Structure 1
Amino acid sequence: MLIGDNYVFVELQKTGSTHIKQQLQALLGGRSEGKHNKPSDELLGPGRVIIGSVRDPWSWYLSLWSYGCQRRGSLYTRLVDPQNWQHSQPLLQARQREHGDLRLDQLTPQRAHDVWYADTGSAEGFREWLRAVCLPEMRTTVQSGFEASGLGRWGCGMMSYRYLKLFTHGVTTLAQEVDSAEGLRLWTQRHFRPAHMVRLHALAEDLITTVQALGGSLTPAQCEALRQARPTNRSSRPHPFGHYYDAQALDDVARREWLLIERHGFQRPSLG
């Protein structure tokens, strides 16, 4: 989180937030406080608006997986810890008995350690990991609070949960307040707190628009510098995007993150 005189930047994980913070601090000033936390009502007070960050969900999941291949991140820790599988494994077994569509030997914490996160060059490892984290039966394993939020009722994925948890007052009452997908759209619109969003694929232009909306004065040279600056702290992978995704994996993400895709106009990537 970055706190300025008239704004608070709230950062969603794996959305170029380190780079965005650096640019905002250079242009508008501000102090850093924590990282992926959300501001209190007292901190916002009168006159401060929230700036958020987001990226298309297909690249978000790939970046999150790449980070886990470095043995880092809360999701990596959860997936390799057998204790976090205690609720999900009976659900996976019940699904397999009913539908027969799972490979249970590929859904274990040992598999996560030995295969899913073993090689940043492995398309198979990524796709297997992605299928697992998109399974409804895995919600309690991949993210604390996800199942209780009720978001899974509308087919939403882990990214949508983190997004709504961070950018609204919270999702603890959502299950009682929303009774349809359309209701979820309206609830999100009503409770969404950021006044400005910086999208990773349009980072420079969104930053320019945001800084100017907050009263910052940018010269043509500063605008050009923002356009030329390269994001920092990027996940490292030996292959391009198309190596990791196939059509099924693209579909899995599209189904789970429909809310974010709709809200921010993200386009399904091409594999051609």
Structure 2
Amino acid sequence: MLLFDGLVYLDVQKTGSTFVTAFLQACCRRPQVHYHQHDRLRRKLAPGAVGVISVREPASQYLSLFRYGLDGKGGLYHRLKDHGVAEVYQPTQEAFETFVEILLQPETAPLLHDSFEPVARKFDMGMMTFRHLLLSLKWPLATLKRLPRDGLPTAYPRLRLWSEALRQEHLVADLQTLVARHPDLFDLEAAQAFLAPRPRINRSDRGAGLSTDLPAPLMARLLQREDLIYRTFYPHLLPEGQADLTV
């Protein structure tokens, strides 16, 4: 979480957050108040403050996590290693599909986050949606405990802390839109220079040939478990007949 006077950035893991954080620290006109990587907002936002969150299509997010683990990096890799599951990290499509299957199993939830299992079972929720909600809700665990099983989709638009979303797939364009909507918050010249074409950062090279084209049954389970993110940000990727339920 990166907090400025008048803006908060909710830096969900594996959503381009390294780039966004660097952009905001270089281009925001307002003084920085606090920064704690991937942490929750634990204070009251000032009236009128802009909430910004970054998101990523969940299948791509799983692949990014897997490729990061191929390099022996990341908290998830070390958690799985500690529980004897690290052998799944092989640079093959079959291994990636097995990785997704493991992460989608409710019984794996305690390995992913200490507080994830009851939420995963209650809402039939996947890890990427859980990570998103940890940052996008105030007091997320208490809020999720209080909500009824079927109450999250309707409550989420009311409870979320953000008003602006940055899609990892369109990061530069979405940042340009953010600057255009809130020119008082940004040094426009610095923003234009920062968003000029440049090499990508924080990128793993192993597993570059792997694909998010998963077998249909596995993809159906992923869509079900990560339903909130798909409906909110990627309704065009839902099967026909489901996108009209977007929250």
Q: TM-score, normalised by structure 2?
A: 0.83
CA gap 1:231/1:38 in 2 versus in 1, 3 angstroms: farther
3-state SS of paired residue (1:161) = helix
Contact 2:70 2:206 in 1 (8 A): no
CA gap 1:256/1:28 in 2 versus in 1, 3 angstroms: same
Determine which of 133, 144, 169 is the counterpart of 1:201: 169
Q: Distance in 2 between matches of 1:242 and 1:47?
A: 41
3-state SS of paired residue (2:51) = strand
The aligned counterpart of 1:93 is none
Contact 2:15 2:54 in 1 (8 A): yes
Q: Decide which moves more: 132-141 or 9-18.
A: 132-141
Contact 1:127 1:244 in 2 (8 A): no
Q: Distance in 2 between matches of 1:266 and 1:59?
A: 15
Indicate whether 1:148 and 2:118 are aligned: yes
The aligned counterpart of 2:225 is 256
RMSD value, Cα: 2.5
CA gap 1:199/1:227 in 2 versus in 1, 3 angstroms: farther
Superposed CA offset, 1:119-150 (max 9, x none) = 3x21122111110110122222222111223x
Contact 1:16 1:232 in 2 (8 A): no
Provide structure 2 residue ranges, at least 5 long, that are not aligned to the other structure. Answer: 239-247
CA gap 1:245/1:235 in 2 versus in 1, 3 angstroms: farther
CA gap 1:159/1:238 in 2 versus in 1, 3 angstroms: closer
The CA deviation at 1:206 is 1.1
The aligned counterpart of 2:94 is 124
Contact 1:124 1:244 in 2 (8 A): no
CA gap 1:246/1:210 in 2 versus in 1, 3 angstroms: same
Q: Distance in 2 between matches of 1:227 and 1:260?
A: 29
1:220-259 alignment to 2 at 5 Å?
A: 223=192, 226=195, 228-242=197-211, 245-259=214-228
3-state SS of paired residue (1:209) = helix
Q: Distance in 2 between matches of 1:197 and 1:231?
A: 20
The percentage of counterpart residues that share the same residue type is: 30
CA gap 1:172/1:5 in 2 versus in 1, 3 angstroms: closer
Report how many aligned residue pairs link the two structures: 233
Contact 1:78 1:141 in 2 (8 A): yes
Superposed CA offset, 1:105-124 (max 9, x none) = xxxx2xx22x212x3x2112
Provide structure 1 residue ranges, at least 5 long, that are not aligned to the other structure. Answer: 83-108
Indicate whether 1:210 and 2:197 are aligned: no
Contact 2:52 2:163 in 1 (8 A): yes
Contact 2:129 2:228 in 1 (8 A): yes
Supply the AA of the counterpart residue of 1:116.
V
Superposed CA offset, 1:140-183 (max 9, x none) = 2222111223x433321011111111110113342332231xx2
The CA deviation at 1:228 is 2.6
Q: Decide which moves more: 245-254 or 13-22.
A: 245-254
The aligned counterpart of 1:184 is 152
Supply the AA of the counterpart residue of 1:212.
A
1:25-44 alignment to 2 at 5 Å?
A: 25-29=25-29, 30-31=31-32, 33-42=35-44, 44=45
Contact 2:68 2:204 in 1 (8 A): yes
The aligned counterpart of 1:104 is none
3-state SS of paired residue (2:145) = helix
CA gap 1:159/1:233 in 2 versus in 1, 3 angstroms: same
Q: Distance in 2 between matches of 1:252 and 1:235?
A: 26
1:8-157 alignment to 2 at 5 Å?
A: 8-29=8-29, 30-31=31-32, 33-42=35-44, 44-82=45-83, 109=84, 112-113=85-86, 115-117=87-89, 119=90, 121-149=91-119, 151-157=120-126
The CA deviation at 1:45 is 2.8
Q: TM-score, normalised by structure 1?
A: 0.76
Contact 1:10 1:52 in 2 (8 A): yes
Supply the AA of the counterpart residue of 1:130.
V
Contact 2:23 2:191 in 1 (8 A): no
